């Protein structure tokens, strides 16, 4: 995900969680961008609200007061899920034109003029200038910037590593929902999804991609491993960019060099095999720096991780893992992440490669399913607060993709270790308030599921075998064989803590 979308997500999240209107300045300071940028993003947010059919949601701007997001409970739930999607779809029709300009700037070695771009898209020079301002903002997140020379026109300058990351990120700008389909050329096969193949062929010819896939497949057979899912897509994408850049006369610069240490023997050997095959197939020369980048992709997948009986990770990774688990335990009630050995082992192996990737600025896109249960949403939001720990122990800043992956590890742990108790919720609130309280308890106390909700008058008709304990939000006259949590007299904002403490102590 690029920072353009990330900023829009953060603005929506901030407004969604705010209890009062916020000024543009306040929002800008919270995100770390300019007041002007926030103002520009608000228009996109209004388009996003409209395009997603959020009829009970509105962005409210009040002179001298600030901005706020008015929404209904139903729309709020929908917004929370949309924010977890891999794409926000915040762009209007002009995005296709702007994406085309980005593609031209990334893949053309010749300078482009404003007039040529305007003529190509049948728009005015003014519109094209605004498009270039937008493109410049998008490129800036990868350390690239536009330049304008008197004779050569508009071009793109910056480090080779930044350009390659931008090319890979460019593929992620497109939103194509046919990702489960597979495309095949006559007599050829591919493991790439239709979406990935269609986008990749905008940059690299299909025949070249087919050759690269065959080379990776031969390496898998030679060294007995199998790249799957998004790791496979990322490796093919990197190799396609690599081949295209080199055959286009763009040799690797010194700044592109990754660290000389920390590359495992099997990955080095495999990368050498792939590099040799690429050299033979395309007549290009891949030096040690290119091989090292192939290694990084193999490391990211843990292609050669075997059970050795112990975890060999640096001290900073182990400390980061322990601190992340402690943080999530403190933020989320009803879980025991610290007692999950599988979580610890999995996080250690993941962070070992994720931190290596982040330190070296390697773009790796992973897709993940945003259709999470409410407990999954809670875990995701908690994981977003872990960014500072990455910096504290390893000196890196996790991107949204990394934080999404982190949340998935804890969601898997919650499924593994959760031992739910069934509760009967007894209260005399109105039906909408009852449902709201029921959902709040199940969302924030993961070890509890509400078997039913009734009033004290209805209790005698509720079979006792259907629940393990009672949560009473009103006074009960009778005594019961089942444990009872009495919430009468407890402040409303202390319900969750009271229930969590009772469950931990009683079960």
Residues 269 and 368 in one domain: no
307 part of a folded domain: no
Q: How confident is the model at residue 376 (pLDDT cuts 50, 70, 90)?
A: low
Write the burial class of residue 370 (CB in 10 Å: 0-12 exposed, 13-18 middle, 19+ buried).
middle
Pairing of strands 153-157, 469-472: unpaired
**pLDDT(187) > 60:** no
Give the total number of structural domains in the chain: 5
* Beta carbons of 155 and 232 less than 8 angstroms apart: no
135 part of a folded domain: yes
Residues 111 and 133 in one domain: yes
| CA separation for the pair 56, 70 (Å, rounded) | 8
Who's near 289: CB < 8 A, 6+ residues apart?
Answer: 252, 256, 257, 258
154 token code pair? 């508009």
The torsion of the CA quartet 199, 200, 206, 208, rounded to 10 degrees, works out to 170
Residue with tokens 């071009």: 155
**pLDDT(451) > 60:** yes
- Give tens-digit pLDDT for 224-256: 877 766 778 888 888 888 888 888 776 666 555
386 part of a folded domain: yes
Residues 73 and 126 in one domain: no
3-class DSSP state for residue 371?
coil
**Which region among 35-44, 275-284, 373-382, 469-478 has the lowest average model confidence (pLDDT)?**
373-382
Q: How confident is the model at residue 3 (pLDDT cuts 50, 70, 90)?
A: low
Residues 369 and 429 in one domain: no
37 part of a folded domain: yes
- Continuous segment of H or E residues that includes residue 297: helix 288-301
The per-residue pLDDT for 254 is: 56
Residues 273 and 250 in one domain: yes
What are the residues facing 22 on neighbouring strands?
67
Last residue of a domain, one of 279, 301, 323: 301
Residues 280 and 361 in one domain: no
Distance of CA 262 to the CA centre of its chain: 26
Pairing of strands 469-472, 448-454: unpaired
467 part of a folded domain: yes
- Continuous segment of H or E residues that includes residue 484: strand 484-486
| CA separation for the pair 233, 239 (Å, rounded) | 10
CATH code for position 291: 1.10.1790
| CA separation for the pair 321, 347 (Å, rounded) | 6
- Continuous segment of H or E residues that includes residue 353: helix 341-359
- Give tens-digit pLDDT for 82-130: 776 655 555 445 667 888 888 888 877 677 888 888 888 888 888 888 7
- HEC string of 379-424 equals HHHHHHHHHHHHHHHHCCCCCHHHHHHHHHHHHHHHHHHCCCEEEE
Q: DSSP code of 193?
A: B
Count of helices and strands (H, E) across the chain: 20, 8
Query: Considering Cα of 272, then 273, then 279, then 284, what sign does the dihedral take?
Result: negative
Residues 412 and 438 in one domain: no
State the greatest distance between any 2 C-alpha atoms of the chain, in Å, as a whole number: 90
Can you give the length of the chain in residues?
507
CATH code for position 458: 3.40.50.2300
pTM of the model as a whole:
0.52
- Continuous segment of H or E residues that includes residue 145: strand 145-149
Q: How confident is the model at residue 167 (pLDDT cuts 50, 70, 90)?
A: confident
| CA separation for the pair 132, 152 (Å, rounded) | 16
Q: DSSP code of 156?
A: E
Residues 56 and 19 in one domain: yes
Write the burial class of residue 92 (CB in 10 Å: 0-12 exposed, 13-18 middle, 19+ buried).
middle
276 or 262, which is more confident? 276
Residues 288 and 342 in one domain: no
32 part of a folded domain: yes
Residues 441 and 407 in one domain: no
Q: How confident is the model at residue 179 (pLDDT cuts 50, 70, 90)?
A: very low
DSSP assignment of 28-70, as one string? HHHHTS-HHHHHHHHHHHHHHHHHTT-TT-EEEEETTTEEEEE
| CA separation for the pair 58, 66 (Å, rounded) | 14
436 part of a folded domain: yes
Who's near 101: CB < 8 A, 6+ residues apart?
Answer: 117, 121, 128, 131, 132, 135
Range of the domain at 297: 194-301
172 part of a folded domain: no
CATH code for position 323: 1.10.1790.10
**pLDDT(402) > 80:** yes
Residues 357 and 436 in one domain: no
Q: DSSP code of 22?
A: B
Percent of the chain with pLDDT over 70: 81
Last residue of a domain, one of 417, 451, 468: 417
Last residue of a domain, one of 83, 108, 132: 83
Residues 438 and 392 in one domain: no
Q: Can you tell me the mean pLDDT for 153-165? A: 81
**pLDDT(175) > 50:** no
Query: Considering Cα of 95, then 97, then 103, then 105, what sign does the dihedral take?
Result: negative
CATH code for position 105: 1.10.10
């Amino acid at each position: 995900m690029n920072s353009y979308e990330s900023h829009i997500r953060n603005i929506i999240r901030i407004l969604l969680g705010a209890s009062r209107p916020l000024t543009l300045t306040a929002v800008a300071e919270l995100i770390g961008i300019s007041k002007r940028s926030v103002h520009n993003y608000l228009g996109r947010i209004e388009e996003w609200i409209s395009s997603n059919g959020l009829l009970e949601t509105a962005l409210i701007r009040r002179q001298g007061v600030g901005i706020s997001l008015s929404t209904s409970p139903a729309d709020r739930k929908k917004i929370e899920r949309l924010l977890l999607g891999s794409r926000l779809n915040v762009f209007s029709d002009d995005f296709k034109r702007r994406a085309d300009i980005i593609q031209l700037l990334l893949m053309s070695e010749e300078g482009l003029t404003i007039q040529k771009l305007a003529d190509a898209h049948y728009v005015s020079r003014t519109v094209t200038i605004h498009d270039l301002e937008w493109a410049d903002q998008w490129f800036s997140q990868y350390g690239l910037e536009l330049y304008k020379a008197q004779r050569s026109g508009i071009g793109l300058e910056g480090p080779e590593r930044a350009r390659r990351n931008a090319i890979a990120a460019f593929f992620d700008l497109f939103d194509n929902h046919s990702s489960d389909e597979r495309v095949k050329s006559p007599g050829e096969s591919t493991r790439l999804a239709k979406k990935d193949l269609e986008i990749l062929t905008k940059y690299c010819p299909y025949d070249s991609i087919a050759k690269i896939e065959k080379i990776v497949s031969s390496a898998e057979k030679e060294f007995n491993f199998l790249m799957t899912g998004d790791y496979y897509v990322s490796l093919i994408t990197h190799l396609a960019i690599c081949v295209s850049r080199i055959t286009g006369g763009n040799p690797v610069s010194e700044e592109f060099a990754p660290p000389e240490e920390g590359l495992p023997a099997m990955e080095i050997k495999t990368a050498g095999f792939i590099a040799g095959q690429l050299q033979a197939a395309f007549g290009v020369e891949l030096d040690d720096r290119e091989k090292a980048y192939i290694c990084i992709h193999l490391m990211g997948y843990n292609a050669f991780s075997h059970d050795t009986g112990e975890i060999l990770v640096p001290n900073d990774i182990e400390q980061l893992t322990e601190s992340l688990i402690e943080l999530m335990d403190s933020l989320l009630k009803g879980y025991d992440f610290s007692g999950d050995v599988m979580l610890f082992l999995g996080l250690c192996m993941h962070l070992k490669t994720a931190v290596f990737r982040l330190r070296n600025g390697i773009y790796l896109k992973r897709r993940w399913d945003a259709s999470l249960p409410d407990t999954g949403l809670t875990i995701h939001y908690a994981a977003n607060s872990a960014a500072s720990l990455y910096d504290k122990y390893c000196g890196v800043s996790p991107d949204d993709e990394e934080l999404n992956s982190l949340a998935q590890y804890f969601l898997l742990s919650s499924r593994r270790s959760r031992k739910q108790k069934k509760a009967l919720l007894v209260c005399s609130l109105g039906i909408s308030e009852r449902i709201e309280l029921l959902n709040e308890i199940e969302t924030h106390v993961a070890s509890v599921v509400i078997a039913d909700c009734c009033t004290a008058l209805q209790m005698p008709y509720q079979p006792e075998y259907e629940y393990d304990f009672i949560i009473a939000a009103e006074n009960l006259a009778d005594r019961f064989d089942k444990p009872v949590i009495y919430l009468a007299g407890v402040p409303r904002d202390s319900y969750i803590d009271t229930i969590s403490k009772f469950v931990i102590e009683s079960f």
